[in-house]
Amino acid sequence: MTKIELTVDGSKVSDDVEPRMLLVQFLREKLGKTGTLIGCDTSNCGACTVHLDGHAVKSCNMLAVQADGSEVTTIEGLADTYDGGELHPMQAAFHECHALQCGFCTPGMIMRSVDLLGENPDPSEQEIREGLEGNLCRCTGYHNIVRAVQTAAAAGKGAQA
């Protein structure tokens, strides 16, 4: 077992974990944060995307021990990073634009979209599509997801994460 200390959704967490435990397992099984999903289990689909020190990473493709000393934000803590209401503006935009059908890709899609606007607050449609390259949606055909990111960008609030 290896001792790790990190911050998850604003709370300090300290635990002993097996070195082989994946970050996504740690979040779901140890902390009960099941908002972060395991989709493909092969690092392709992006459903497990969280923020590590402010940037999107695939939590199924890193070890929990690699997150020692870091700050992790999951979909469950995203709204708390923004002091304007119950939902983060990106969550609100996904809601407004109905940017989902089954919803399985949504947590990862939202976490990556927030990071995308952090890097580029005013992306073109093409830049949004390419910027979401690491997140797969099998329902929507992406159109409403792109609209949601455009809506959040237009609101000028999406970068505040």
Partner 1 sequence: MIPAAFDYAAPATVEEALALLAEHGDDAKIIAGGQSLLPVLRLRLNAPEFVIDLGKIDRLRGVREDGDALVIGAMTTHSAVANDPLVAQHAALISKAVATVADAQVRNRGTFGGALAHADPAGDVGAPALALGAEFVIAGQGGATRTVDAADFFVDLFETAIGEDELLTEIRVPKHTGWGAHYEKFVRIAQQWSIVAVAAAVKAEGGTISEARVALTNMGSTPLRATAVEQALQGKPATEDAIREAVGAVADGTNPPTDLNGDADYRKHLAQVLTRRAVLTAAGG
The reply to whether 115 sits near partner 1 by the rule CB under 8 A is yes
d(CA 50, CA 37): 10
What residues numbered 49-78 form the site for partner 1, per CB under 8 A? 49, 52, 55-58, 61-63, 65-66, 68
Task: At 40, list the tokens.
Answer: 């493909």
**Window contacting partner 1 (CB under 8 A); options: 8-16, 40-48, 90-98, 152-160:** 40-48
Give 63's DSSP letter. Answer: B
**Window contacting partner 1 (CB under 8 A); options: 13-21, 78-86, 87-95, 144-152:** 13-21
**Window contacting partner 1 (CB under 8 A); options: 8-16, 41-49, 75-83, 99-107:** 41-49
What is the biggest distance separating any 2 CA atoms in the chain, rounded to whole angstroms?
47
Amino acid type, 151: T
- Residue 153: name the closest of 108, 109, 119 by CA: 119
Task: At 106, list the tokens.
Answer: 């949504």
The reply to whether 120 sits near partner 1 by the rule CB under 8 A is no
Bridge partners of 73, per DSSP, are 51
**H/E element holding 149?**
helix 143-155
Minimum distance of partner 1 from residue 15's CB (angstroms):
15
Report the interface residues with partner 1, using CB under 8 A: 2, 18-22, 25, 41-44, 46, 49, 52, 55-58, 61-63, 65-66, 68, 112, 115-116, 131, 133-134
